[in-house]
Structure 1
Amino acid sequence: MERTGSEPFVFGKDALWEDLGGGVKRQILGYDGQLMMVKVVFEKGAVGAPHHHYQSQCTYVAKGKFEFTIDGVTKVVSEGDCLFKTPDKPHGCVCLEAGTLIDTFSPMRPDFLKK
């Protein structure tokens, strides 16, 4: 049977990092067609440029402090906080203190996978 996603166990030490530039890098932790989990690391001052997509997205702040804008509303979030982004609503962030976000997407983000 052909696999249509990640392996059942994804070890962080083995998962590849993608440098997105500007002090941001990401690591795909697991996915199938319905769900994707991604770790995103930001240096202080790095920007997650405003964008939107058709997937629902839930973000957990694992470390650091961020100023997020979601659909025109701006708030500062820090470790332990969560953000929910509904489909097609613009969102972006500025990293105030170096940090790590854990993003989940449903359905998965095929544009994140290398061709």
Structure 2
Amino acid sequence: MSEIFLHDKAQSWTDLGDGVQRKILVYNDELMLMKVRFQKGAIGALHQHPHTQISYVSAGKFKYHIDGADEILTVGDSCIIYPNLIHGCECLEEGELVDSFTPHREDFIISL
């Protein structure tokens, strides 16, 4: 479990390679909040997981693929990804996503 209050400047980015970085913010067993930064052209490879995910585009432009549907999302747009749906994205303009997961992504915490 993370602290009740978290200051963004105190958190570091994890380089995931290929133009993608992740910063885990606050979380508990039920919910996790994080930011993901993409360079233009970076890919969030197609994958699936048992968590519900909500993504908010805080900067840039992304082409999302969720369960066979494609959609362009820009600043202020969001999407929900239900458990086990195949999904991924391509960054069309350098940007950043704010992602939430329920329950939290234990696999991300282990890698801290």
TM tier relative to shorter chain: over 0.9
* Paired residue secondary structure (2:107): helix
Give aligned pairs, total. Answer: 111
2:105 to 82, 91, 109: 109
Runs of 4+ in 1 over 3 A off after TM superposition: none
Structure 1 counterpart of 2:54:
58
- In percent, how many aligned pairs have the same letter? 47
Superposition CA RMSD, Å: 0.8
Structure 2 counterpart of 1:14:
10
> Which 5+ residue runs of structure 1 have no aligned equivalent?
none
Amino acid at match of 1:74: D
Q: How does 1:31-110 map to 2 (within 5 A)?
A: 31-110=27-106
> Which 5+ residue runs of structure 2 have no aligned equivalent?
none
* Paired residue secondary structure (1:13): helix
TM-score, normalization by structure 2: 0.97
Cα offset for 1:64?
0.3
Amino acid at match of 1:82: S
* Paired residue secondary structure (2:9): coil
Cα offset for 1:30?
0.7
Amino acid at match of 1:112: F
Distance 1:19 1:33 in 2: 24
Structure 2 counterpart of 1:26:
22
Q: Which has the larger radius of gyration?
A: 1
TM-score, normalization by structure 1: 0.94
